[in-house]
Structure 1
Amino acid sequence: MRCTNCGQENSRDAQVCSNCEQRLANTQAQMPPPLTPVNIAKEAQSVQRGSDSDTADTLLAAFVGEKYDSYYREKWFKNHVPTLDKDVTKMNMRSFNVAGFFLGIFWLCYRKMYIAAALIMLAITVIDLIMMYVLGMESYNVLGQSTFVFVWIVMTGILGNYLYFDHSVRQIQKTTGVTSDPNLIREQLAKKGGTSWVGAIGVSIVIITLSVVLTYFFAPEWYWIE
């Protein structure tokens, strides 16, 4: 062990320098372990585990916008640690989205979930057409509208928060897969996420128009005569 005062080399167990009698610091105890691949991997895993929650919060907040802290964080992660893992056991699946319940595809488009809105509207339209042919005119008039409302509630009200979480995680994964610059990631997430009144109105009108066109071509004749 080298003395920091005079430079004398001493034995590893020496407490004082044999030349100047300066007390030797126990540098061995303070020395970090060697940077082997195993130690580097362990340190990286430890840091990753410690920062998972902060990273999820940061990325989701950048994508969702101002409503994340005041609404969606509680809806998604009540009694859970924030995460980007879509495992339903790690989030609150029992939350209900009031906006999705009342506004349906308008809310989906407002939150820029255009593909989800189109697919849900297509599914509802197809189910509605099938019921017309299966139930017939009289039964459809009794059950058709209530079934339409039930499907609407399930898809956008009960599953709304999970659909939005899934959409958010997908967009975050796409963005972080392209760049590792934190500032650029947050900037791109803010552009991809947030809300859009133009989308809520414009895209919703397009989707509803397509649904009406499908109904026009495939609905039975009695539907229009009535």
Structure 2
Amino acid sequence: MAVITYLWHTGSFIPSQTHPGPFDVADSWRMLGDAYSNALPLHLRRFESVAGPLPAGFVLAMRQLFTPGDLFPRISLTAGELRLDIRPAPPARPVTRLTYALAPDPRSQPLVKGPDFPALAHYHTEYQVDGTDDTAIVDSSGAMVETTTGALVAWDGEALVLPTGTALPSITLHQVTRRAAALGIRTETRPLTLELAAECPVWFLNSLHGISPVTELHTPTGIIYPPGNPHTATWQQWWWSCFHKETARD
């Protein structure tokens, strides 16, 4: 399936060319089967927090364009133009292998998804080790903040550890912390260092792959193998069970 792009114009979607970016703001999420999505209202809310309210009829018209199958739609705003890219979703990644590079933070707007896509792509090309899936972004102390495409958390015993530093408000991270709170699991915030990753399970989180345990962390001096979390499969099953058909929203 090729990428199909639409431009929102005078109250409806019309076919358009894919915009190369950069974007003022963008958001994306995985869809399964016959238009099943996971936390779509949260993605739309994050987009609207920067772009402003979506036009009347936008979401309903968007939903009618989705075809059955595994999709990875993206909405974006550039120079006042709203676009929808309907893209095929790659297979979900069961585990994640990360590159750890002591490199300058490429982000200029870490709290907004979209503007930094070109810088993150360059960072990925410049530093990512062959055979790994993503590259960590580190702060001035060397602690990991997030990756170029997702959030990171660790588990210290029964405590969920959130990294320090400024990172994109991750929808999947929000879901995980909300479930942890509902289960009475303690949440802590502290630097996600290499030393912590060597001793504690680490998860990669995003709306495309869900919960993907980090099995390898490729550093300049060798490979760290974070231990596994015995509850990972249960959490993964929970996240995938959150997919459902959204009710109509105008």
TM range (shorter): under 0.3
Please give the TM-score of this superposition, normalised by the length of structure 2: 0.22
Please give the TM-score of this superposition, normalised by the length of structure 1: 0.24
1 or 2, which has the higher helix percentage? 1
1 or 2, which has the higher strand percentage? 2
Structure showing greater radius of gyration is: 1
